Structure 1
Amino acid sequence: MKLLVAGGDRVDAGKTTFSVGLLAHTGARGFKPRAGNNYWFDHDDYEKATTQGRLYGKDARRLAAASPGDTSPEAINAIHRLWHPSPGPSKGLLGQTARQFVVDRVGAGRSPASSRPESHDNGVGEFVVNGTVDIPESATERLPLDAAPRVTSLPDFNDLMGAMHAEALADLREEVVAADRAVVESYGDIARPLSGFEPDAVAVVEPGRARFYDGRRYAKACEIAAGGPEEGQLEERVENVVDLIDRAGAVRLPALDSETRADPEAVADAYDHAYDALLATAFD
């Protein structure tokens, strides 16, 4: 059983809270293929990870903690991007307004199917550095960035992502496919975080409600929204995808206090009606 949790809002949709409760409800393993945080706005999370010589975010940490067994955030999160605010009109290397890419952590070491050298099999992953910006001193002191490739142009970065990032995502996709039960959480309002991934059912979560979709139809709609399986250059937004298909159902989601949100079992109890509806969609 493979389930996808996507967001109807770009920020604070409630995906991770919904996902950790779903993990408790189903006993599945959680995955967060792509994630990121901001050196300024998420500084506590940045400090927590980098003081360990690592780079991950709170979403992957929560999913890993709610998954069965001893799972690290890096093991379920193929790519983590560190951003920094970017004052002024410049859009930076990736063309983003108000923020600039600083460092990527790619993978978590070499998987059995990977051809990467054993020197990268460290459980922490490899790093890519933006050579056009100043890197925070704490990052250079705490993370193994000395030997990391530095990119200074978008074409160079695209070439590198076509190798390193694509391989890390492909490795993670193999783990998702091999898992007996998996919950994959997307990022922002991106429709699918793994190319070619076809879930059994999809939950689109936003404040106050969750909508449910047949996984096969959702995957097909992603291809149509992108112009085909190989043609799309831009990431498909959730609303552009779900506009193409009928939903299988929808439920209201109650607001949860911070104590409940911190306990996956408590979230599972509060949202059990939503999880039952999602599973009914998967097995319909």
Structure 2
Amino acid sequence: MTKRILLTGMNSFDSGKTQLATRVIKALSETSQTVEYFKPLSGHNYWYDFEHTKMCMKEGVLFSKDAKAVRATSNPKSPIELANPIHTLFVPMRIERPLQTLPNTLGLAGSSSILALKRFSRPVKEGIDSTILTAQKLFEEERVIIGLEEVGKLTRNASIYEVNSLEAVQEFEHQNFEQHVSESFAHLEGLADIVIIEGFNNSAWPWDGLDSVDAVLVVGPGHVFSYDPERFRKAVYLMNHGQLPIREVTFRRISDLLRPIKRLEVIPETDLTSFEMKELGLNFHTRKKD
């Protein structure tokens, strides 16, 4: 059976999950086990990460900067669209005066982060099926600083689904998120002995269809904490009130319910030793045929 390692951030941003993922993959690869990296949900800003935006335009697909970095250090068999099935592009709006806001729910994150494009991908018999939600009206009215030619480069080989409000995005997401993520993950599991799952920011559990994992690592600057996987999952679902998706439960909300099994201090730019991997519960010795 394929083993699953979940990386969760203790902070809302810059916890260090991607750095740890790279180290774990390197350590596991030295054991001759095949490893895939899965980042179900991500996003970046057209302006603040313009070099990455240019790379996306060159390759004709929106994808995570972190996923690209991690995959560059490994030898993945999966296409990046399935390793990173959902990705959002935020774009600054054109403003006529300082602090101007967009009278549209697509701009709830502020004038510098208008939700402009959102890609959903899943595997199909013919390859990959991608649908991109596009704020087409904002593009045509030149309300955001990205041009139609650039949008065209980012939406090649994808179906277009026009949206004019955050509510429309949320409705599409409600109907399609679980299917796209679960089917993409199943594809990756068929390719590897171990899959490393990197959650979004400090979300404690990335999607409902993930019924179990074999290891949970909570990451913060300079530190990694391991938790009992089943107790961790139960704590997340215990705190999932109302109709919100499970990914809305943050680690902060469950931290007082759990005690870590192990604590490890990590030093920048150093590899994980075999002893440290064992301490974190990552001493897997399995193949897909097991």
Calculate the TM-score normalised by the size of structure 2.
0.79
The residue that corresponds to 1:143 in the other structure is: 154
Offset, 1:215? 0.9
Contact conserved, 1:5 with 1:204, CA < 8 A, in 2? Answer: yes
Contact conserved, 2:88 with 2:117, CA < 8 A, in 1? Answer: yes
The residue that corresponds to 1:55 in the other structure is: 62
- Structure 2, unmatched stretches of 5+, are 30-34, 94-98, 286-290
Q: Secondary structure at the residue paired with 1:222?
A: helix
The residue that corresponds to 1:212 in the other structure is: 226
Contact conserved, 2:123 with 2:184, CA < 8 A, in 1? Answer: no
Q: Confirm or deny that 1:95 pairs with 2:108.
A: yes
Offset, 1:75? 2.5
Of the three residues 280, 287, 290, the one matched with 1:278 is 280
In 1, Cα distance between the equivalents of 2:56 and 2:28? Answer: 28
In 1, Cα distance between the equivalents of 2:179 and 2:60? Answer: 23
Decide whether aligned partners of structure 1 residues 13 and 273 sit closer, same or farther in structure 2, where only a CA change above 3 A counts: farther
In 2, Cα distance between the equivalents of 1:255 and 1:26? Answer: 19
The residue that corresponds to 2:133 in the other structure is: 128
Amino acid in structure 2 at the alignment position of 1:57: S
Offset, 1:156? 2.5
The percentage of aligned residue pairs carrying the same residue is 22
Decide whether aligned partners of structure 1 residues 32 and 69 sit closer, same or farther in structure 2, where only a CA change above 3 A counts: closer
The 10-residue stretch of structure 1 (163-172 or 48-57) with the greater mean CA deviation from structure 2: 163-172
Contact conserved, 1:81 with 1:101, CA < 8 A, in 2? Answer: yes
In 2, Cα distance between the equivalents of 1:60 and 1:153? Answer: 28
The residue that corresponds to 1:80 in the other structure is: 87
The residue that corresponds to 1:115 in the other structure is: none
Offset, 1:8? 1.3
- Structure 1, unmatched stretches of 5+, are 113-117, 257-266
Decide whether aligned partners of structure 1 residues 95 and 281 sit closer, same or farther in structure 2, where only a CA change above 3 A counts: farther
Offset, 1:6? 1.0
Q: Confirm or deny that 1:172 pairs with 2:174.
A: no
Decide whether aligned partners of structure 1 residues 194 and 67 sit closer, same or farther in structure 2, where only a CA change above 3 A counts: farther
In 1, Cα distance between the equivalents of 2:45 and 2:132? Answer: 16
- Deviations along 1:148-201, one digit per CA (max 9) or x if unpaired, are 111113332222223333321121232355553111011211112222422111
Offset, 1:281? 9.1
Amino acid in structure 2 at the alignment position of 1:150: E
Q: Confirm or deny that 1:200 pairs with 2:214.
A: yes
Offset, 1:15? 0.7
Offset, 1:83? 1.0
- Deviations along 1:11-33, one digit per CA (max 9) or x if unpaired, are 22111110011112123211111
In 2, Cα distance between the equivalents of 1:83 and 1:204? Answer: 27
In 2, Cα distance between the equivalents of 1:282 and 1:239? Answer: 29
The residue that corresponds to 1:160 in the other structure is: 172
Decide whether aligned partners of structure 1 residues 150 and 38 sit closer, same or farther in structure 2, where only a CA change above 3 A counts: same
The residue that corresponds to 2:71 in the other structure is: 64
Q: Secondary structure at the residue paired with 1:93?
A: helix
Structure with higher Rg: it is 2
Contact conserved, 2:78 with 2:188, CA < 8 A, in 1? Answer: no
Offset, 1:254? 1.2
